[in-house]
């Protein structure tokens, strides 16, 4: 099911997965509901964790309740309240899986949220088949823990085949319009 979303927040029941399509440059944290910031694990390709910390605070969230797996080719220099795993290269999906598994232990069953942003960025480093296998593993883990999951991509970045594969992982697809 694909839905154009009028509100600016994802609404999911425990165990559900949404494929979130946003305008280029938008952040997944901008569409998460307030309760997501109570127990959130974010797998992100954005290495600017100060900016992420400010975005969480701007949404009323407590950065100490947000875990981050930074997936970036550049060093991450951050000493703040977000809890952060070791940085992983975007081409190292095994490393992403390992860091996710370590951090995922802190996601509360039935309460926690997991968000994976910038699927399009990740697809520039690995084949869509490898990325699909990683996401299938992550989604299986989140469903097993009854966590809510958001897989985010920028509008028009992924090809039709990749979008079809990723839709198969989700319960629904949410398309967020550009903000005025």
Count CB atoms within 10 A of the CB of residue 134. 19
Residue 60, C-beta contacts closer than 8 angstroms, at least 6 positions apart = 34, 37
Residue 112, C-beta contacts closer than 8 angstroms, at least 6 positions apart = 39, 40, 41, 106, 145, 147, 148
Share of the chain above pLDDT 90, in %: 89
Which of 8-12, 56-60, 108-112, 163-167 bottoms out in mean pLDDT, i.e. has the lowest? 8-12
Residue with tokens 């299938």: 136
pLDDT tens-digit profile of 153-167? 999 999 999 999 999
Locate the domains of the chain by residue range: 2-6+15-175
CATH topology of domain 2-6+15-175: Rossmann fold (3.40.50)
> Up-side HSE of residue 47: CA atoms within 13 Å toward CB?
13
CA–CA separation, 104 and 89 (whole Å): 19
DSSP 149: E
């Amino acid at each position: 099911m694909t839905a154009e979303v009028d509100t600016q927040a994802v609404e999911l029941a425990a165990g559900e997965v949404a494929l979130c399509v946003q305008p280029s440059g938008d952040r997944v944290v901008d569409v998460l509901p307030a309760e997501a910031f109570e127990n959130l694990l974010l797998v992100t390709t954005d290495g600017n964790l100060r900016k992420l910390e400010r975005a969480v605070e701007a949404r009323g969230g407590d950065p100490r309740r947000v875990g981050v797996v930074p997936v970036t080719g550049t060093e991450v220099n951050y000493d703040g309240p977000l809890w952060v795993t070791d940085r992983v290269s975007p081409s190292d999906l095994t490393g992403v899986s390992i860091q996710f598994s370590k951090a995922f232990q802190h996601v509360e069953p039935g309460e926690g949220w997991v968000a994976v942003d910038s699927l399009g960025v990740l697809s520039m480093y690995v084949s869509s088949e490898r990325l699909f296998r990683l996401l299938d593993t992550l989604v299986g883990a989140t469903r097993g823990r009854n966590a809510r999951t958001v897989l985010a991509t920028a509008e028009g970045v992924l090809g039709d085949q990749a979008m079809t594969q990723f839709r198969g992982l989700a319960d629904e697809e949410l398309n967020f319009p550009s903000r005025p």
